[in-house]
Amino acid sequence: MLSHDRVWAAIDALAERYSLSASGLARRAGLDSTAFNKSKRRSSDGRPRWPSTESLAKIIEATGASLDEFMGLIEERNAGARGGNAATGRAVPLLGFAQAGAGGFFDDAGFPAGQGWDLVELPAQSADGAYALKVQGDSMLPLYRNGDVLIVQPGAAVRKGDRVVVKTSTGEVMAKVLDRQTTQSIALVSLNPEHPDRDIPTHDIEWVARIVWASQ
């Protein structure tokens, strides 16, 4: 049986997995930004308030997650509450961001390939094909710091406002925020205000992959 606390914990976990706050997840889903605030989870007399099925459907659609993924988050919370063995993560390929532009580490679709990858164990489940990039330097401040690990999911749908990793035909690899994508070009907003935004012709893009989680 689902509990109030477990459902809300799964919403928080889904937001964290996709590098969002609870309010950010609500905004992405087209809901009021305060919809998932902790103050909204109980009424003034202390009775539990449950999220609506419509809001759950909207956050699943907005993140590109599956119902199974969301239910898995609830089940992980259940296992921990029972004192059993909670679902654990798994090891995924890890590469330093500075090395990602070198040839031989990715296939044409942006999936990890070749030799030279390390492995990192994730605290959350990851989809097939996911990999990790380790931030090096301060070019992604203030959002990501040196040593943070970004989990990237090739093939996941990307939307305006998503944080993405982009590789160009010249071998440049960058993390940006997707602002616009057309048949002619892709517009990217820099994570660090000291670095310029980019507008890159589509024919100069090898692949775009969404950042779905970050360890910070």
Higher pLDDT pick, 2 / 129: 129
What range defines the domain where residue 78 resides? 4-82
Residues 197 and 121 in one domain: yes
The residue assigned the tokens 């309010």 is 23
Residues 109 and 208 placed together within one structural domain of the fold: yes
Contact yes or no for 175/165 (Cβ under 8 A): yes
pLDDT in tens, 93-135: 888 887 887 777 787 778 877 667 787 776 555 666 788 899 9
Quote the percentage of the chain above a pLDDT of 90: 22
List the one residue out of 191, 202, 209, 101 whose CA is nearest residue 148.
191
Residue 215 confidence (pLDDT) above 60: yes
Q: Which of 55-69, 85-99, 193-207 has the lowest mean pLDDT?
A: 85-99
- Of 82, 106, 126, the last residue of a domain is 82
pLDDT at 90: 63
User: Do 121 and 197 fall within a single domain?
Assistant: yes
Whole-angstrom distance, CA of residue 185 vs CA of residue 5: 44
Burial 66-82 (b: 16+ CB within 10 A, else e): eeebbebbbebbbeeee
Question: Is pLDDT of 85 > 90?
Answer: no
The alpha carbon dihedral of 131, 137, 141, 145 has a sign of positive
Greatest alpha-carbon span in the chain: 60
- Residue spans of beta strands (DSSP E) within the chain: 91-96, 118-121, 131-134, 149-153, 163-168, 173-181, 185-190, 198-201, 205-215
pLDDT digits (tens, 9 = 90+) for 141-176: 888 888 888 889 888 889 899 999 999 999 888 999
Q: How many domains does the chain have?
A: 2
Instruction: Name the domain boundary from 82, 105, 136.
Output: 82
User: Is 62's pLDDT higher than 90?
Assistant: no
Positive or negative, the CA dihedral 149, 185, 61, 11 is positive
Q: What is the pTM of this model?
A: 0.58
pLDDT computed for residue 200 by the predictor: 97
pLDDT at 43: 85
- 140 with 103, same domain? yes
Q: Are residues 191 and 127 in the same domain?
A: yes
Residue 6 or residue 122, greater confidence = 6
Residues 138 and 176 in one domain: yes
Helices marked H in the chain — which ranges?
4-17, 22-28, 53-63, 67-82
**50 pLDDT above the threshold of 70:** yes
Q: Answer yes or no: do 111 and 211 share one domain.
A: yes
Residue 121: what are its φ and ψ, rounded to 5°? Answer: -90, 130
pLDDT for residue 71: 82
| Together in a domain, 49 and 14 | yes
Report pLDDT for 124.
56
Residue 197 has pLDDT above 90, yes or no: yes
- Answer yes or no: is pLDDT of 204 > 90: yes
CATH number at residue 139: 2.10.109.10
162 shares a domain with 66: no
pLDDT value at position 78?
Answer: 39
Cis peptide before 154 (omega within 30 of 0): no
DSSP secondary structure code for residue 138 in this structure: S
Residue 195 and residue 156 share a domain: yes
